[in-house]
Chain A
């Protein structure tokens, strides 16, 4: 069976749009859900929720730090509170508030950062969020999710609402290839092995999951069997999946739309180092990007299937 038949990778909606739709579903299910935004509701798609439930939508204006702490106050008082903005703004401008008002007192605030990575494209580096997963992982108690497509985003937003603690969910601006069939289950500490293989394991999340699948298809044509794992839960990380990959494949590539020194790559490497070390290569960003179409920027900064293929070849050359 050819792997290319398993995943059509048909373009779905952007994960930010799936987030907006999931909020409406949550709002219908639970009158306790409230949503805050900082003047970006048309871009984060929290405006879907605002349209359905205007009385439960809290416009905070362009003041992300205040929004995060308002959300924490709502959550501390028992509301299921979501705050959303571009990831670059909510995580950077709101970081200290996330730390003091949510993480450290363990207030179950739900934070969604959209337009993450560099695939926001034309807006350029001030809006590009390339350090958000690292920062979110620096908040003890936070669950950190980075879903790949509309199906997993919807599931992760429902999951976020159920988790008894603070959660950060990373969403993107661009349309994302559909990887999952509706009904697939997602949980804290989980991952999904999307393709089986034993020569190398490729861990990816977000947009890079589809690229990893494409890379595996290309490698398959060359007789290289690549396992692809969507490591959608960045924290807590699925240690078992990493140990299985490192013992069975003995070579790992991690691919992410994030600074490669501080993203999931370092988290996967830490688990390997603590358990079953193996050779590894990392695909990610080394610095700030620049304006351009999302496709052009992703290609220029080396976040495509071909870059993952090259990393696989490098890691296999080092594999004993």
Chain B
């Protein structure tokens, strides 16, 4: 596993991860490229820099925990975990096939190193808060990171969880909202607007940091600020571009849940060379 705090080195890993995302979704002929590409820097920065974890000892009690609330973006998580050494890189292209450990949504039965099975939106933050609370009960330094989609936070349970996290002062959790502004049916602002989003999290009692979700140095600073913030949970509102890194996928709702053709895959990989 490459562990580095150098943003340039993390950016190189992010490019590799993006290539995996495109290739595995193309091989599967289905999947969700847009929201995987938007979350790439977030997930890479966490696994390859910020989080304390050990692929050779995935159940280490004091490890930091990661939950992908927006489980459909699992190609990014699988790619990052594979690059870290948790699972085989050469099997990424079995994604979504019968018997593959790379299930259509994260499934702990197939990859025990995952912290939670997700895919039904809105539940990951609550589970993460439970894990963060367990760490507090146990006097463990473990931190928990939960990545949510912006569309996902239309789920009411997110706001039940937000109230809970603030009420219990769970300051060892970081909720990252991948604010890519697109959901399955179209643009979030047209489907069910969320603005003023930062104000919403602040009013629920979360220390809220807005960053460019593709700026690795800014993400690192936000995660360090979260660690230094005591007595309240932190929300990193990461402004991102859906489909980031592949020009024809960027900001186009079509690429929420469509697989590229072989030709489109080749074009995308050229851009990610």
Interface residues of A (CB under 8 A from B): 34, 56, 58, 60-61, 63, 65-66, 68-79, 81, 96-97, 99-101, 104-106
Contact = CB atoms under 8 A, between A and B. Distances in A.
Nearest to A104: B117
Interface of B is mostly: helix
A76 B127 contact: yes
29 contacts: A34-B134, A34-B137, A56-B137, A58-B168, A63-B160, A63-B163, A63-B164, A65-B126, A66-B126, A66-B157, A66-B160, A68-B126, A69-B157, A70-B129, A72-B130, A73-B128, A73-B134, A74-B134, A74-B137, A77-B134, A77-B135, A96-B123, A100-B119, A100-B120, A100-B123, A101-B117, A101-B123, A104-B107, A105-B108
B161 interface: yes
B109 A105 contact: yes
A311 to B, nearest CB: 41
Which residue, A58, A73, A101, has most C-beta atoms of chain B within 10 A? A73
A28 B109 CA distance: 33
A34 B131 CA distance: 13
B134 A69 contact: no
Contact of B131 (A58, A66, A68, A73): A73
A73 B126 contact: yes
B115 interface: yes
Given A34-B137, A73-B127, A73-B128, A105 B157 contact: no
B84 interface: no
B157 A74 contact: no
Nearest to A81: B130
Interface of B: 61, 65, 107-109, 115-120, 123, 126-135, 137-138, 156-157, 160-161, 163-164, 167-168
Given A34-B137, A73-B128, 7 more contacts: A61-B160, A63-B163, A66-B160, A73-B129, A74-B133, A100-B118, A104-B107
Contacts of B123: 69, 96-97, 100-101
B61 A78 contact: yes
Contacts of A79: 134, 137
The listed residue with most B CB atoms (<10 A of its CB), out of A65, A66, A72, A100, is A66
Classify the secondary structure of A's interface with B: helix
Contacts of B65: 77
Contact of A69 (B109, B130, B163): B130
A101 B168 CA distance: 21
A309 B270 CA distance: 79
B121 to A, nearest CB: 10
Nearest to B156: A65
B131 A105 contact: no
A58 B160 CA distance: 14
Contacts of A66: 126, 157, 160-161, 164
Contacts of A63: 157, 160, 163-164
Contact of A97 (B119, B126, B163, B167): B126
Contacts of A97: 123, 126, 157
A47 to B, nearest CB: 18
A36 to B, nearest CB: 9
Contacts of B129: 70, 73
Contact of A70 (B119, B126, B135, B137): B126
Q: Which of A70, A79, A99, A104 has the most CB of B within 10 A?
A: A70
Contacts of B163: 61, 63
A74 B164 contact: no
Contact of A100 (B117, B135, B137): B117
A120 to B, nearest CB: 25
A101 B127 CA distance: 7
